[in-house]
Chains A and B, each alone.
Chain A
């Protein structure tokens, strides 16, 4: 149980184009999903928190107009990197909390998406 998938697993795009990454909770409903980015040999940095049906909350320093997050259903959140540039190349990971969860802030992570912008 508690499986989170991401698609695509890797993507290469040209500078200036936009890329959409999907995050799905496969066997549970997630009221809250989180988006992280991870640079090589670095920790996970939280980009934003999204709740189903409402606007995402972005962390300080994350451009909300560049990283568009949509959480349209209890099982799907999307991250769109708009006008991507080489410095956006990174490993993007989503996580989700089960809506039946307790006060324990357990998050189930997806396998990640490696984005390379050329």
Chain B
């Protein structure tokens, strides 16, 4: 079992739809949960991070973490064509030099 599993894609939705992206993990030591967005042939950019369990909202984006189930989600409301990208979940145990463990990524396409 991989440390981080991410729902396979690709995912195609119409503009305005609510998108749900999910990851599961096996390492109970993970404390930081992040979502990165990566456009084609570009480096990833951090969208949001959450520490421990709970929800976090930033504009149209909501991140949820359920540590008891080892399950995290990213919701995108009112999706836009500009949201079309690959979304990667990443996790870390924390600390100054702590490395990130990434999910495989899911490619989202928002149709106008």
Contacts and interface: CB of A to CB of B under 8 A. Distances in A.
B94 A44 contact: no
Given A109-B43, A109-B45, A114-B41, A44 B88 contact: yes
A89 to B, nearest CB: 14
Interface in A96-118: 97, 101, 103-112, 114
Interface residues of B, number: 26
Interface of A: 4, 6, 31-32, 34, 41-44, 46, 49, 51, 91, 93, 95, 97, 101, 103-112, 114
Contact of B94 (A32, A34, A103): A103
Given A32-B97, A104-B94, A105-B32, 6 more contacts: A34-B99, A43-B6, A43-B88, A105-B96, A107-B46, A112-B42
A81 B33 CA distance: 31
30 contacts: A31-B96, A32-B97, A34-B99, A34-B100, A41-B107, A42-B104, A42-B105, A43-B6, A43-B104, A44-B88, A46-B100, A49-B97, A49-B99, A91-B41, A95-B43, A97-B97, A101-B96, A103-B94, A103-B95, A104-B51, A104-B94, A105-B95, A105-B99, A105-B100, A106-B34, A106-B49, A107-B46, A111-B42, A112-B41, A112-B42
